[in-house]
A and B are shown apart, each in its own frame.
Chain A
Amino acid sequence: MWGRSASFLLDKRLRDQHPSLSSPSSSSPDSTMDPNPNPNHGVSAYYQTRAEHHAIVSSDWLAQAQAAVDREGDTALMEGPHASAAVSLSASKHFSVIDEFNYWRKKPDLAEAVAAIMALAAVIRSCEATTMMELEIELKKASDMLKSWDTTSISLSAGCDLFMRYVTRTSAVEYEDFHAAKLRLIERGEKFGEISMKARRTIAMLGQDFVFDGCTILVHGFSRVVLEVLKLAASNRKLFRIFCTEGRPDKTGLRLSKELAALGVPVKLLIDSAVAYAMDEVDMVFVGADGVVESGGIINMMGTYQTALVAHSMNKPVYVAAESYKFARLYPLDQKDLEPALHPIDFGVPIPSGVEVETSARDYTPPQYLTLLFTDLGVLTPSVVSDELIQLYL
């Protein structure tokens, strides 16, 4: 539509001179974005976990899982020295945040962030530091380690940050006795974990009010919070109908439709590309979120953005259900402004050589396409997210 200006040539020349410099418009094949889906490289652990929890087994699932385990092993090995340096005091007890985290993470009903929070609370408990400062440093190191375990998981890092904020904010300086202070911290940590566990329940209570009799809801992606909302609405004898997107490549829609069908809710499955076709009949769109960013937009499973766009253009409300521990201090400006989280895609047939595959597992939905966010802090408009974050972090 827009003719290229002469300065584009200049760009090109520049790029020729510096091969590393690539035009922003062409998605550049660089080290972080591998053109070929390589299960062993750059795969997002977060999405591996999700897939695992959602129990969708694809053909190469086992291989992937194996790879993920290997990777975890790698990271654990890699962080071994770190860990020993960081948690030197607790080394004698062989306590490791990662182990603790993995223990919690295995519980299918527990979100990753909550697992991290529980793990961090355990760090405080098992910590042998004798001063407040030491304890804080140790906690910081543990949370950094957790965050570096999976840099692609927004809720993990957000959960760690929030925990640190929540626990250390009232910097327990007011307690002269270190043990009292530590107990206080443990108490706070556990309380925070509890709140986070309850968050889903709170959201369900708030969100189910928006479901009215006879409505049709389009759900994209499998979110435990959304499921909780729908469950509660169904148990309140609301009559509604669900359209489920298929949710390639993890086929999240299959799992959701299974759960909903078990509740006796009429469900219809759509392929992902039928969203616009079906939007006519839809009254509202429900999605979950992997992370809620500072602008009030959300980062969620691939396809959320287009669903929200279609809904917005047809004036249908888009509701997001997300726990407040997913609020992250991130501010992506566009889709490429995120750490890439790659997730292999199984096309069922071998991909011809030389063909690139977009393997990003998530996209960013800007706030103007969202109507409301159901969180445990209440039902918020997107712009309040930033308000909450500012109050929390500044």
Chain B
Amino acid sequence: MDNRWPSRTVSDPKVRQVGFVTPGAAPPARYLSEVPTTAAASSPPSGEPAPPAISISPVMIPPPRHSPSPSAPLAVPNPARRESLQIQVGGYNPPEVLLGSPPLTSPSSRMDDAVSQFSEDPSMSPCDGRSGAAKVASSFPGSSGEMMVMKAGTVGGGSNTPKSSWTTASVAKTRPGIQEKEREAFVGTQNDWAGASKTLKEKTTKAERRALQEAQRAAKAAAKESGAGVKLSAAPGGAVPANTKQGKVVKSPAQKKDGPQVANPSVSSEKKVVDRPPEKDRKKDIPPPRMQFDDIHRVEKAKRRALVYQFEAKNRVELFRHLPQYIHGTQLPDLETKFFQLDPMHPSVYKVGLQYLSGNISGGNARCIAMFLAFREAIRDYSTPPEKALVRDLTAKISSYVSFLIECRPLSISMGNAIRFLKNRIAKLPDTMPESEVKSSLQSDIDRFINEKIVIADKAIIRHAVTKIRDGDVLLTYGSPCVVEMLLVYAHEVGKQFRVVIVDSRPKLEGQVLLHRLVAKGISCTYTHVNAISYIMHEVTRVFLGAASVLSNGTVYSRVGTACVAMVANAFQVPVLICCEAYKFHERVQLDSICSNELGDPDVISKVPGRKDLNHLDNWADTENLQLLNLTYDATPSDFVSMIITDYGMLPPSSVPVIVREYRRENLWI
């Protein structure tokens, strides 16, 4: 599949040109329309060559299907993309094809007409395009759904996908539903057509050449001719022309989105070729946005890269579609069997990954340390392959390990910071250093990070925090933060008289572990669940909490439920103290728990252990109007936080950015 890329680079300028030529004014509108119905909107750009400057925004949905053909002349260079466009069409727009515009059903044959038709379309119904598309999609859910089901079925492994696609399809009156469908379709189609697309590739190159030649001729003539070319190239595909097209659809939309038309509508069409490079550069400058899992195209891309087959989660909760859905139950055995196929994976990294997956290692510090120890082993066993630079190869290696770990469980912010540190260290290595020295220096860097940023930092935190515990205090903690546990044990050892209230919550019940350890130390404890928080709070004098991260607006990102505890404490005028190592600070600003979070297994909240009679949610996945949400983190606003205790001392939450600013460099360099 990688072969697609080269062809793309060649052809892209031309594709862009098409996009530019016509819609001078169009872009903004398209941009708008793009958001809701990504698939539909993203395809148009290429498809709008002819329509003169009419803003095609909402109407875009029908056009995409036709558009590929008109634009084909230019697109010929990379048929892969073109095809992929159509696949979308095929995937969830087929109904539309059948119903809306029968004549166009076979795009390749229609190409010539398409241009003219296309240009008319937008002007005719500029506004209702979107809704129209939705209607179309929803009115033929059956057919599309079935198609998908079949495909998914053939792909294998995804026995539940068909079902879900069905259900969504039937509900598809809403946009989310459509998207769902799309996604489903992709899963199916992508795998299915991988083979087909390969066969195409050879042809594409030929077609490309030809297209190039043609493109150099007059624009109009070229358009028509190349359109024919597309036909030719596509036709050889044989019985599967539609399919092959579908196979490649996936990539194109994403590319288009980034494309210049959206980014800088003002760029003139003549700049076709020249345009391209700056565009690329700019893309590099901008940090890639975080993965949005409701962006089908990116998901598709990610999936192709994935080592493990990934299922689609069922019944996603509306606000949290953009997050990686919980998939682990199915993944574990799959990963285990993959062990011998994943040759580049170091066994220790692999082990840690599986431990993340199974939940044996949890907690920010523990995960971070485990990851670093695994990396250290991997570095120890590393040797630079011939004809490669160590710095680059090792960085790539680490990146591949990290992406493997991400597949097992999304990275925590602390791990992200730690990885940043390691990569920075690698990048800063002098070229002349011999390999053995490099390896030992990196290993000692890792040791130092663990030691200074975690172990000693914890000790410093404890030293600071213990000054805030007075005799007779009642301390409340939530969950099982490891620093707080160390703090309580230490305070007990130095002879402070205090009592601990441990607040816990389903489904993890981590507090019980803490309770067990503290009681064993002889500390007097009270154990309760978060439901009783307002009852227990009035007797509490200090609340000590841990954090997964502290963001630069002072927001504390921590185990779900922390915000609730902090809020109640604030209402009772009880000071809330957050214990968090400074390496977990992050410069990001987050206002809610929605935009970035991690989803847990929804099944665990549907079951009540020890209560067989409470089985009302047993088949919740089949109930289409029921979604379960098991969040892992939440964001506590800084208003509820009295103090953040870090290795640098006790700070108000408003000082987090100061620490981030002053110590960011030091953190990277140590």
Contact = CB atoms under 8 A, between A and B. Distances in A.
Contacts of A24: 470, 472-474, 541
Contacts of A387: 655, 658
A331 B643 contact: yes
A2 B471 CA distance: 23
A131 B659 CA distance: 35
Given A23-B472, A24-B473, A28-B472, A11 B655 contact: no
* SS class, residues of chain B in contact with chain A: mixed
Contacts of B470: 24, 336-337
A258 interface: no
Contacts of A11: 474, 499, 539
A329 B474 contact: no
B538 interface: yes
B472 A5 contact: no
Interface stretch (A13-21, A112-120, A201-209, A349-357): A13-21
Interface in A371-394: 383, 386-387, 390-391, 393-394
A7 interface: yes
B654 A386 contact: yes
Contact of A333 (B471, B642, B651): B642
Contacts of A8: 539
B194 interface: no
A8 B655 CA distance: 36
A7 B539 contact: yes
A329 B649 contact: yes
Nearest to A333: B575
Given A28-B472, A390-B658, A295 B648 contact: no
A390 B652 CA distance: 11
A367 B652 contact: yes
A334 interface: yes
B615 interface: no
A386 B472 contact: no
B648 to A, nearest CB: 6
B340 interface: no
A296 B648 CA distance: 17
B499 A295 contact: no
Interface residues of B, number: 31
Given A7-B536, A20-B497, A337-B468, A294 B650 contact: yes
A84 interface: no
A367 B655 CA distance: 13
A20 B651 contact: no
A333 B472 contact: no
Interface string A137-166: 000000000000000000000000000000
A22 interface: yes
A333 B471 CA distance: 15
Contacts of B501: 7
Interface string B464-480: 00001011111000000
Nearest to B471: A21
A393 B535 CA distance: 41
Interface in A1-42: 2, 4-5, 7-8, 10-11, 14-15, 18, 20-24, 28
B643 A295 contact: yes
Contacts of B650: 294, 331
Contacts of B542: 333
B662 interface: yes
B524 interface: yes
Given A296-B654, A390-B662, 7 more contacts: A8-B539, A18-B497, A294-B649, A296-B652, A331-B652, A333-B468, A387-B658
21 contacts: A2-B538, A5-B535, A5-B538, A15-B472, A20-B471, A22-B471, A23-B472, A24-B470, A294-B652, A295-B643, A296-B652, A296-B654, A329-B649, A333-B642, A337-B468, A386-B658, A390-B649, A390-B662, A393-B649, A394-B648, A394-B649
Interface of B: 468, 470-474, 497, 499, 501, 524, 526, 535-536, 538-539, 541-542, 575, 577, 642-643, 648-652, 654-655, 658-659, 662
For the complex of A and B, the 5 pairs showing the least CB-CB separation, nearest first, are A383-B654, A386-B655, A333-B575, A2-B538, A331-B650
